[in-house]
Structures are given as structure tokens and as C-alpha cells.
Amino acid sequence: MKLIATALLVATGCLSLSGCPAKEAKDGLKSIDQATGVQCVTERDMMEKAVEAYTLLTGASPVNEAAMVPDYLRAESIYMDLDAAGNVVAAPGSGCT
């Protein structure tokens, strides 16, 4: 009986100290989604500014994203692309809208 009581006491202590891992996991996923959303907004803004600068300085819209590297962008974006008209659009599979 004493062994069972000790085991229950230890188990209760462990559970109370560990918190709720499921809630922490959900909070973590929510934070990742929010961070991705912020990254999408940041990348779109950066890409739009690069397209604007490219257009103003060259007199033509960029034909693709690679045309802006390295003078207007450090690297091609994994979140944004350019469509045929030179508009900034979300890259397929990026999770951005």
C-alpha cells in the first residue's frame, strides 16, 4: 500500500510539473504560422520595392526574379515570384497568399 501511495504521489508530481505538452505544441504551431505570415508580408514588400526600383532605373519591368539578383535583391525569394506581367505573386507551395 505504501508503494502504491508513493507511486501515485510521484506520478502526480511529474504531471503537475510537466504542464500540458499538447497545449504547448499547439501554441508552437500557432507561432510558426504567425512567423510565416510575417515573412510573407516582409518578402512581398521587399519584392515590390525591388520591382519598383528596377523599373524606375531600367525603364522596363523585370522579366523574372533572377534579373533583379544581385543588384536589387540578394537572392531569389522562396515566398514570392513574379508573374508574366511583372507583378509580385505568392510562390507555389510557399503558404503565402
List pLDDT tens digits, range 65-79.
999 999 999 999 999
Report pLDDT digits (tens) over 5-47: 555 555 555 555 555 566 555 555 555 555 578 899 999 999 9
- For the chain, what is the total number of helices (H) and then of strands (E)? 2, 2
Judge whether residue 60 has pLDDT over 60.
Answer: yes
Strand partners, 81: 89
Q: What's the whole-number mean pLDDT along residues 48-74?
A: 95
Q: Residue 95: pLDDT band by 50, 70, 90 thresholds?
A: confident
Q: What is the dihedral of CA 85, 87, 88, 89, to 10 degrees?
A: -70
Question: Cα–Cα distance between 92 and 80 in angstroms, integer?
Answer: 8
pLDDT greater than 70 at residue 93: yes
Q: Where are the beta strands (DSSP E) in the chain?
A: 80-82, 88-90
Q: CA–CA separation, 31 vs 86, rounded Å?
A: 32
Q: Which amino acid is at 83?
A: D
pLDDT for 52: 97
Instruction: Give the per-residue pLDDT at 26.
Output: 58
Look at the block and give the residue holding cell 523574372. Answer: 64
